A and B are shown apart, each in its own frame.
Chain A
Amino acid sequence: MKTTLGVLLMLALGAAPAGAVLGEYESSVSLDQQTMRGQDRVTSAQGYTLHQITAASGGVVSEYVSPQGKVFAVSWRAPLIPNLQQLLGSYVEEVQKAAQAQTHRRGAPLIVRSKDFIFLSGGHLRSFHGLAYVPSLLPENVPAEVVR
């Protein structure tokens, strides 16, 4: 039922099924670029490659790629929260569980700290920021702090 709905939604939006991104290979970055209809700026940093996609509706989504070509982190700074299903792939399920499990926290950032997945949705209306990364995929000598 849910799968059908997902496929239907993709068809309705005319978007290619954007495969998992976080934890997947760099080729999935171009899918994001297409869906966000944005400009992709690629820069090399110490130990990784950074794609910064500026979306047509404003805001920047960053994707961090290891020398092995895997996306080990994503982050965003934008007026709207990006499509996390597309950015996080199967990792979105951990975010979904955490979002549904919030107790007492109201109007508050959403944070996930599980064994091998870190997620933050922060900021406020008109000015959101956030990140997600997989610690075990961090390239050698690249600290988590580069993801921001």
Chain B
Amino acid sequence: MTIKRNSVVSLGILLSVVGGLVVMGSCGGSSSSTTTTTTTPPPTLTNLVSLSVNLGLTGDYVDGLFTSVEVCAPGSTTNCTTIPDVLVDTGSAGLRLLSGSLGTVSLPSVTDSSGNEIQECIQYVSLAYTWGPIAQADIHLGGETASKAAVQIVSETPSPATPPDSCLSAGVNGAFPENSASALGANGILGVANYGPDCSGCTLASNEIPQYFVCPSGNCTIANVPSTGIVTNPVSLFSTDNNGVLVSLPNVSTGGAATVAGTLYFGIGTESNNGLGSATIYAVDNANNFTTTYSSAQYTDSFIDSGSNALYFLDANTLGGNIECAYPNTGFYCPASTLGFTVTNSGINGTSGSFSFNIANAANLFSTGYAAFNNLGGDSGTSPSTDYFDFGVPFFFNRNVFVGIAGTTVPNGVSAPYGYWAY
């Protein structure tokens, strides 16, 4: 790990040297310096990490997208560890780690002005939640660093054992903690969404959002969180390449693939490897959604999410019935033969484009024991009035998907105040 960072530093020095020589050349420097420039090997870009679609830590995670993350105590180069099998989630912001994955690395906790440890409860749509204290860490992703980032630490023995009722949507018997490798299927979640902080109003003195808490003597109240304590998309904390990410995955065949390797690039249009090219930009609304049109009906709550492990859309009745899988695969589609769909996505910036996909029989896909499928689907609602399109990991295969962060400048000048997708 230390060696890796040293090599990044050397590259930086190399870059400066090359840059200096180029400037000299453009100012009419001698031809000999130009010759030196051309003999310098091109620098290897480090704004990237490897991605893997595999079966995860539980061995049965389908269409899960994972990477490795290095965390260090703030400012340290030795109190560090590299954590594999961290879920890459374009639908959330910030890094959340199982405490067990940290090994011997100890991280300082974030406290309020009275010295109480800040704790966070995050709800997920499935009624899962993560609950635990906020710590500070330097997050290293490839050659990029998010310094002193707030990170949520999740364990099987939090104190208090459960979050307040205001976060525990379905009670202790319903909402379930993703607090172990077996529950989460991963060592943590790396949230690289269209936005930076995971809560926009939680630092206000008048904050009433039940997300961050202090729990002196086990009695939790909503916290006044210092801005350094808000868990934030680490990409927006980088010093460069901080305007978004590019998720790049290769194609998989209709029968699926045992595993798939891809790349997560940091920055959009900031390096030679992350340009938008001919991608269409879809600006999202203030709820981070866009509109998907299918069969003349508009679904205004649609989104792309690498933290969802299928194409979740519509419902079996709306699709003509009789395609819902039998137990234990309930919630997925099991058509007798593969179905084809074409939908149109529209951004709030007026762009639109069509997307075609297939849905195969989920039970047959699962029986392969493979991890990666581009044709896995399930239901998102109960009727057309509640349905939407959640374009999960299958959407990402065979394309470059850019996730633009709210508040950044879109490289080609499009207005996207709440962030954007481009593909």
Contacts and interface: CB of A to CB of B under 8 A. Distances in A.
Contacts of A104: 60, 62, 309, 329, 331-332, 366
A119 B386 CA distance: 11
A99 B127 contact: yes
A50 to B, nearest CB: 15
Nearest to A85: B171
A113 B382 contact: yes
Nearest to B184: A106
A105 B61 CA distance: 9
B208 interface: yes
Q: Is the interface of A mostly helix, strand, loop or mixed?
A: mixed
A58 B199 CA distance: 12
A92 B171 contact: yes
B167 interface: yes
A118 B310 contact: no
B295 interface: no
Nearest to A118: B382
B309 A107 contact: yes
A128 to B, nearest CB: 6
Nearest to B381: A120
Nearest to B211: A80
Given A105-B310, A107-B91, A131-B382, A80 B167 contact: yes
B210 interface: yes
Interface residues of A, number: 50
Interface string A95-126: 11001101111111111010000111111111
Interface string B83-100: 000000101110000000
Given A99-B176, A109-B380, A144-B383, A124 B209 contact: no
B125 A121 contact: yes
Interface stretch (A5-13, A20-28, A64-72): A5-13
Interface residues of B, number: 67
B386 A148 contact: yes
B177 to A, nearest CB: 12
Interface stretch (B24-32, B299-307, B407-415): B299-307
Nearest to A86: B165
A131 B386 CA distance: 8
A147 B193 CA distance: 30
Contacts of A107: 89, 91, 124-126, 305, 307-309, 392
A105 B383 contact: no
B117 interface: no
Nearest to B185: A106
B170 interface: yes
Contacts of A82: 169
Nearest to B380: A109
Contacts of B382: 111, 113, 118-120, 131
A139 interface: no
Contacts of B185: 106
A12 B219 CA distance: 8
Nearest to B286: A127
A107 B218 CA distance: 30
A126 B331 contact: no
Contacts of A16: none
Given A84-B169, A99-B174, 4 more contacts: A85-B165, A147-B385, A148-B385, A148-B386
**A-B pairs with lowest CB-CB distance, top 9:** A96-B174, A127-B287, A81-B169, A107-B307, A107-B308, A106-B309, A99-B127, A96-B173, A148-B385
Interface of A: 2, 5-6, 9, 12-13, 56-58, 79-85, 92-93, 95-96, 99-100, 102-111, 113, 118-129, 131, 144-145, 147-148
23 contacts: A13-B166, A79-B209, A80-B211, A82-B169, A83-B165, A92-B171, A92-B174, A93-B173, A99-B170, A104-B331, A106-B64, A107-B126, A108-B378, A108-B390, A110-B126, A111-B315, A118-B382, A123-B287, A124-B92, A124-B305, A128-B125, A129-B301, A131-B382
